[in-house]
Amino acid sequence: HSLRNIDELCASIVRSHRETSQYRLEELQALRWKVFSREEIQAYQSKTVDEMWQHCAVRLTEAVQYVVEFAKHIPGFRMLSQNDQIALLKTGSMEVVLVRMCRFFNTENNTVFFDGKFAGTEVFKSLACGDLIAAVFDFAHGLCALKLTEQQLALFSALVLINPDRPSLEDRVRVQRVHRSVEVGLTHILHRDNHDSLLHKLYQRMAVLRSLCSLHMEKLRWFSQRYPLTAHSLFPPLYKELFA
Ligand SMILES: CCS(=O)(=O)c1ccc(CC(=O)Nc2nc(-c3ccccc3)c(C(=O)c3ccccc3CC(C)C)s2)cc1
């Protein structure tokens, strides 16, 4: 790895991250105190379980679509086979949405940017999966505490996505090679930012991510058994393709 092409790799991943984030940081900062009114919270809480799940599935699918675009612009990712790209996105896209949450989470009032305003856990009550929401909020808190820069977040997102341990990969060795070059890139910018200790903490966060995503999948299975019609006919196709 000559330094030049590590710099190029970092630059292309950071550019891709910036171009595939629906909101710039400044926009999210400007909106951080725009919270839902009592009436709006009441409206969310009076939705039925399947209405709220459908609503979140649409939001999550939209966030995942941006992650798919992010992946497509990562040089090493594009070189992989179609099947391996799908295999990595199947498990990694939700993890990247969760990692990106540190951009749109306000630790001061424990709210997340959702549907145009910042929402507390009470907004998601009618999902009937308080443990998943609490775990997602806890994870977002923990990640925000690391105060990642956009560049560090971009490289960490790519590292989470290009994971050679994913099931059913055809060319694991190739994914390992791309993973290693992204890791060299992340190590390089953490060293440049004089924040070497962060890498170890980020690896610890990756372990929590995996458990969070299996909890999400478990809830999704529960939901689609309980509401088969909604899950099979009303969920966005990409959501079903990636999560069902
Ligand atoms: C990411 C790019 S960005 O420009 O920063 C941006 C762009 C757009 C937005 C708006 C946005 O889509 N916010 C969402 N919030 C949540 C959410 C919902 C419950 C709790 C915590 C966050 C979404 C989810 O559907 C989600 C996300 C992670 C785990 C679980 C879920 C819901 C499950 C229960 C179906 S989508 C925010 C930020």
Token duo for residue 150: 């956009």
**Using one digit for the tens of pLDDT, what is the confidence trace for 151-179?**
999 999 999 999 999 999 999 999 999 99
Crossing angle (nearest 10°) for helices 82-100 and 130-145: 80
The amino acid occupying position 235 is F
The answer to whether 70 and 16 are in contact (CB under 8 A) is: yes
Q: What is the pLDDT of residue 1?
A: 53
**Mean pLDDT for the chain?**
93
| CA atoms of 137 and 143, how far apart (whole Å) | 10
98 CA closest ligand 1 atom index: 28
**pLDDT score of 142 more than 70:** yes
Distance 240 CA to ligand 1 centre (A): 17
CB neighbourhood size of 127 (10 A) = 19
State if residue 25 touches ligand 1 by the CB under 6 angstroms criterion: no
Percentage of residues in the chain having pLDDT higher than 90: 82
Averaged pLDDT, 73-101: 93
**pLDDT score of 228 more than 90:** no
ipTM: 0.92
